[in-house]
Chain A
Amino acid sequence: MKIQTVEIEGFGPYKERQRIDWPANGVLAIHGENGRGKTTLFNAIRYAFTGYVKNRRHQNIDLAKMVNRHNVEEGRYGFEVKLTLEDDGNTYAITRSLQPMSESVRPESEMDYDEQLFVERNSDQIPSDQAQDAVSSLLPESISRFFFFDGELLAEYERLVDPEEKEGHRIKKEIESILGLPVLEELRGHMKLLSEKAAKQYTRLAAADSKTQQVADGLRDAQETVGRLEESIAKREGKLADVEAGIVDVEERVRKFGARGEQVGQKRAKEGHLKQAREQRERTVQRCHEILRDAWRCKLHGHASRRIMELKAEVGEGAKIGQAQRLAQELLTDGDLIGKECPVCSMQFNSATIGNVKHLAEEDVGDVTKKLAEIDTWEKMVVTQPGLAQQVIGDVHDQRLQVALLEEELKELEANLADFSEDSYDEANRNLRSMYSERETLQKAIIEERRVLKQEQDSMEMFMRALKKMTGAGAHQLVAAEAEMNHYKSLSAMIQSLIDAYRERLKENVQQAASEFFAEISNEEDFAALKINDNYGMEILHKDGTIVDMRSAGFEQVVAVSLIAALHKNAPFQGPVVMDTFLGRLDKMHSSRLLEHLPQITAQAALLVHSNEVLPEELHEHVGPALKSELEITRQRHGECAIVKRGAEP
C-alpha cells in the first residue's frame, strides 16, 4: 500500500484545506517546531484509517476537540480528512469526516456529531456498510501501530523483553498478526470443527449397530461433555483475556495517577496519624486536669513523707508487741502457769515471770489500725509527685505541637490534591481489586475444567479403543468413518505442527533481520546478535555468549527500532511508515544511522521532525537521495497552521 495524497480541513490547527502530495518512494520530511501541529497531522492520517484520535497517553480524545477553534468561532463545525492511496493495483479514496448532527444545536462533544466514511475503489463507491471493512482490509487496526508510530510505541516494546509482562502477550498477537499467522490459526479452527464432525459421524454409525451401541453411547456422552467443556474453557479464556487486558489498562491508569496517587495514600495515613494524635492529646489533657486539681498537695510532700515513715516504723514496732501480747493473753487463758514451760524461751515460769506475762497481757500497745489509717490518709494526700504536673504539661505541649504539625502537613497534601479526583483514583483501585479477584476465579475455574476435560478425553480414547476391537471387517461404513476421522486428526495435528514451525521460522527471520539492522545502526564491537524471546522481545547477545543485562534507555530504543525494521522486512504487508517526533529519543549517532538506513525499513516513509531532533542539513546528509520531498508546517496565527513546501513563502 502506498499513500498518494493527504487532504485535511478543519482538523486541529489546519483550518483551511491542506494537501500533501506523497512521493511514491523514499522519504517525505515534514518539519515543524513544537506546537505547530505535527502530531495533529499524524493523528489526522491515522484517524482516516481508524476513526479515532489518541493522545500521548494513548487515550481516545473526544473528536469534538479536534475541530478547528477559529472555525468554531465562525460557526463552522466539523472536519474532514481525505486519503488517496494505491494498493494491489487498485486506487482508493478514503474520506472520513465529522459533521454536526443538527444544524440548530451547537455541538459541544463528539456525541453531537455524526461521522461519515466514504470509500471509493477505482472511482467506484463502496457501499457504506462495507466501507469500514474495506479500510480495515487496507490497514488492519491491530497492525496499524507498526506503520504509525511515535516514541510511545518504542516504550511499549520494552515490555516485550519481559516474558511475564501481560501487555507483551497482546503485542505478540499483534506482531503475529502483521506476520500473517492468523490465517493458519483460522485453518486450525476449521480443522478442529471438521474433526469433531467426523468423530460424531463415526459415533452415530457405531450407535446404529446393536453390538457396538452401548460403547458408542458412552463415546457420544464423552464427546458431548468434551465439546461442552472446550466451549466453556474457550469462553472463560476469552473472558480472562478481556479481564487481563482490562487489568493492564487500569494498572496503567493507576500508574498514571503517579505521585498524586501516592499522595492520596500519604494523606490518608496522615489523617489516621492525626486522629490518633488528637485522641492521645485529649487523654493527656484530661490527665493533666486531674493532676492539677490535686497539685496543691505537692506542698505537703516533705512533711507527709516524714510522717509516713514514722508511722510505718511505729506500726512495725507495735505489730511485734501486739504479737507478744496475744501470746501472753493465750498463756493466761490456759490457767495457772506455775511449773509450765515458756513456749518462747523454754524456761519454767515463776512468780516473777508470770507477773511480766500478766503485765504484758494488759499493756496498752497503741492502736495499729488507727496508725494504718493515718498512713493511708497521708499517702493519698501526697499521691501527686512533685514534678509530675510539669511533665504532663510538657507532654500536652508536645502533643499539641505534633497535632499542629500533622494538621499543617495534611493541609498541604489537601491543597496539592485539590484538583485531583480521589473518587477516580479510588474507583480505579476498586476496579483493579475486583478484576484481580475475577481473574483468580476464572483461572481456578479453567484449571478445574481442564482437569475434567482430560478425564473425559481419556474416556473418549478408551471408548474408541473398545469400539475398534469390536468393529468387524464387514462393517465397511464404520471402518470408512474411522479412517476419515483419523484423517482429520492427522490434518489437525499437521496444522498445529505447521503453526509451530511457521512461528519458529518467522521468529528466526525476525531475529536475523533485527540483528543485522541492529549491527548496522549500533556499531557495537562486542555485539554478537539479538536474541528473540517468545513474545518477540529482543535481548542483546554479547560476543562471549552472555545476555547484556543492563541496557540504557537509548539502547532499548535502538533495539525496538531494529525489531520494527525486522517486522517490516518479514511482513507480507508492505505499507508507508509515519514516524512522529521519533528521533529525539535517540542520540545523534544512532539517529543519523537510523536516517541512513530508513529506506531499508520501508519504501515510503514520512518523518515528522523538529529542528532539535535533526537539523535540515543533517537530514539531507544522512537520508541522501532518498529524501524526496520536504514540507514545513508554518504558523498563520494562533490556532491556525498551514503546510507548505519547505523554503517557500508562507
Chain B
Amino acid sequence: MKTRIDLETMKDEAKRVVARMYPELDQGLVADLLDIQAANLQSPRHDTAIELEKRIKQGLRA
C-alpha cells in the first residue's frame, strides 16, 4: 500500500534530530535514507533494505 508522505517535513525534522542528538551522523546520509525509503514504498522489503545498506556502506567507506 502506498502511503503518501510529506518528505520535506520529515527531512527537516530529521535534520533537527541529528543536530541535537546525533551529531556524529551525516545529515546527508539521513536525508538519502529517507529518500530511498520514500521512493521504495511499493518495493519488496528486501530490495529496500539492500538499497539502504548500499548507501550506508558507501558512507562508511567515505
Contacts and interface: CB of A to CB of B under 8 A. Distances in A.
A497 B45 CA distance: 22
A490 B1 contact: no
B62 interface: no
Contacts of B53: 194, 197
* Majority secondary structure, B binding face: helix
Contacts of A502: 9-10, 13
Interface string B25-42: 100001001100110011
Contacts of A498: 10, 13-14, 17
Contact of B10 (A184, A190, A484, A571): A184
B49 A194 contact: yes
A199 to B, nearest CB: 14
A572 B6 CA distance: 5
Interface in A185-242: 186-187, 189-191, 193-194, 197
A410 B24 CA distance: 77
Interface string A10-31: 0000000000000000000000
B37 A187 contact: yes
B16 to A, nearest CB: 7
A573 B1 CA distance: 14
Contacts of B38: 183
Interface residues of A, number: 34
A366 interface: no
Contacts of A186: 37, 41, 45, 48
Contact of B3 (A182, A190, A493): A182
A337 to B, nearest CB: 124
A195 to B, nearest CB: 10
B10 A140 contact: no
A406 interface: no
A599 interface: no
Nearest to A191: B52
Contact of B49 (A136, A190, A484, A490): A190
Contacts of A572: 4-6
Interface residues of B, number: 32
A359 interface: no
A487 B5 contact: no
Nearest to B8: A572
A285 interface: no
Given A183-B41, A501-B16, A571 B60 contact: no
Nearest to B18: A494
Contact of B45 (A190, A191, A487): A190
A571 B13 contact: no
A349 B38 CA distance: 133
A137 interface: yes
Interface in A435-454: none
B52 to A, nearest CB: 5
Given A194-B53, A487-B60, A505-B13, A187 B34 contact: yes
Contacts of A142: 1
5 contacts: A187-B33, A193-B49, A194-B49, A484-B57, A490-B25
Interface of A: 133, 136-137, 140, 142, 177, 180, 182-184, 186-187, 189-191, 193-194, 197, 483-484, 487-488, 490-491, 493-494, 497-498, 501-502, 505, 571-573
Q: Which 9 A-B pairs have the closest CB atoms?
A: A137-B2, A573-B4, A180-B5, A572-B6, A187-B37, A572-B4, A494-B22, A183-B5, A182-B3
Given A133-B1, A177-B3, 8 more contacts: A133-B42, A140-B1, A184-B37, A491-B56, A494-B14, A494-B30, A572-B6, A573-B4
